[in-house]
Structure 1
């Protein structure tokens, strides 16, 4: 690739790989095929095997033995994670032009000794598009359902959620700049364009295209999952998300035929057997 490669965890790459090759097909993939593809991506066999084992323990993968070979497939948990990512990439997109003026406000008050719970809540709120309006009051654009998030953390009694609209005199643009790290997010989008735009016209070999598309999708998902999808009309005029999304789609379309050809030749897939875990 041109320029520096972004930092991607093996688990992120593996989930992306499975979402691309396994999701919706009721198949499992041979561990040796995964190792082969990941070695082409610069990830060693031991790291790949460790990631597979760790993801099984976390309930993100299922194992299925066929003779002397071990195959891996998706669980309900990983399928839900990948469907969410699929929606973020292809339906929601990176640019929010449909905002209706609604905000979701979440207030919480936790005992001082609950440092871990406070950290977990803030992390999940950030992942769900919230930013800290004040220390115990967080805000997100649109109507965000946080019931599962709050219930999972066992904090239902300590959290209050409201839907709200800003007063006419409210400077929403200034509020956004104070609440979210716009400069960091813009830098991520700009770097994505710089790194991937040359591939809009490049012609890689099929095996390279398979690895490139894997990294392309993983990097793009990593960025947009950190993007709260703020209303575009309240963002700077030169906001780079739209250009980054155009680059993503153009490169993805160019790499896909070659990547599919390589996957057909390199991957050993078998149907899912319901009796396996």
Structure 2
């Protein structure tokens, strides 16, 4: 199994206990050697208002997904993140923390996926649209989907996997350039940039008070853990929703940078406090908690966009 085989729960509106636990483990554990008792998981999720039964159910679901594995240590089982999950977490955290730090190099190249599916293959058509959306594609026209960049392999694989068994289905994957890239019929017209800009502005407004409190040192450790996790959970969705179009295709006033600065202030200033609260809550059930719990830290240096340092982490991703 490699990191891509680990099925991380998809982001959703309002965090389920399973998704919340994934966020917390991804943020504060960076080693598959850490033995995590179920009682510690229950205590941690209680901080977020999750009941014991829901916490146990979330733990079981993550075991089934391959994110967590169980092993025996003495009379009681303990849980640990799998090496594959650690690799997945590091990759995702790097993506979330670096997203929006600087414009991606732009070559003018787009990947275009076009397909024709008979009426009998309607279920496969719907499945394909969901798969292409998850890969960052958007429908330019009914059966013509695009995404910026040059990596066509994921689209080819999705089309082949979902349509090869559908009789009469046809598909093509092309590399394309738009003659009128910035015009009203160009690729940006396929995106709801107005809705995305509104979501960024709402994020800034939602977390403005917390950002100010964090800057003024007015957030205690208990609030820091819950608030920092909430901010990450909200920000991470942008990294999946935003197509990261080049600046010349975006509206003149684009609020992503302000949203990113809001997130970075909260995430950076509350990191140590949130970690301390997590250690405090987990230690009665997990005496080694202080040795293993860490936290990711984004770098503001554009020449070094990696998160930094970590005692038990396997690289420069946790602080």
- If the TM-score is normalised by the length of the shorter chain, which range does it land in? 0.7 to 0.9
Distance 1:81 1:109 in 2: 34
Asked if the contact 1:107–1:137 (Cα under 8 Å) also holds between the matched residues in 2, the reply is yes
Q: 1:229 — aligned with what?
A: 244
Distance 1:15 1:252 in 2: 17
Distance 2:17 2:156 in 1: 25
Q: 1:57 — aligned with what?
A: 64
1:149 and 1:42, CA in 2 relative to 1: closer, same or farther beyond 3 A?
farther
SS at match of 1:132: strand
Q: 2:200 — aligned with what?
A: 189
Q: Identify which of 218, 237, 247 aligns with 2:262.
A: 247
1:71-109 CA-partner distances (Å, limit 9, x unpaired):
332335534542342232133437635322111111223
Higher mean alpha-carbon deviation, 36-45 vs 250-259, is at: 36-45
Q: 1:178 — aligned with what?
A: 189
Q: Trace 1:46-125 onto structure 2 (pairs within 5 A).
A: 46-75=53-82, 78-93=85-100, 96-125=103-132
Deviation of 1:65 (Å): 3.2
Q: 1:275 — aligned with what?
A: none
Higher mean alpha-carbon deviation, 235-244 vs 153-162, is at: 153-162
SS at match of 2:243: coil
User: Which of 1 and 2 has higher RCO (CA within 8 Å, sep 6+)?
Assistant: 1
Q: Trace 1:257-272 onto structure 2 (pairs within 5 A).
A: 257-267=272-282, 268=286, 269=289
Distance 1:68 1:215 in 2: 35
Q: 2:310 — aligned with what?
A: none
Q: Trace 1:192-211 onto structure 2 (pairs within 5 A).
A: 192-202=203-213, 203-211=218-226
Asked if the contact 2:68–2:80 (Cα under 8 Å) also holds between the matched residues in 1, the reply is yes
Please give the root-mean-square deviation of Cα atoms over the aligned residues, in Å: 2.8
Asked if the contact 1:173–1:234 (Cα under 8 Å) also holds between the matched residues in 2, the reply is no
Aligned length: 266
Deviation of 1:134 (Å): 1.4
User: Are 1:144 and 2:155 counterparts?
Assistant: no
1:152 and 1:107, CA in 2 relative to 1: closer, same or farther beyond 3 A?
closer
Distance 1:191 1:248 in 2: 12
Q: 2:271 — aligned with what?
A: 256
1:175-215 CA-partner distances (Å, limit 9, x unpaired):
34531222222222112111112222312221221222222
Query: Structure 2 length as normaliser, TM-score?
Result: 0.73
Query: Structure 1 length as normaliser, TM-score?
Result: 0.83
Asked if the contact 2:138–2:145 (Cα under 8 Å) also holds between the matched residues in 1, the reply is yes
Distance 1:76 1:124 in 2: 26
Asked if the contact 2:113–2:171 (Cα under 8 Å) also holds between the matched residues in 1, the reply is yes
- List alignment gaps of at least 5 residues for structure 1: 1-5, 272-277
Q: 1:162 — aligned with what?
A: 174
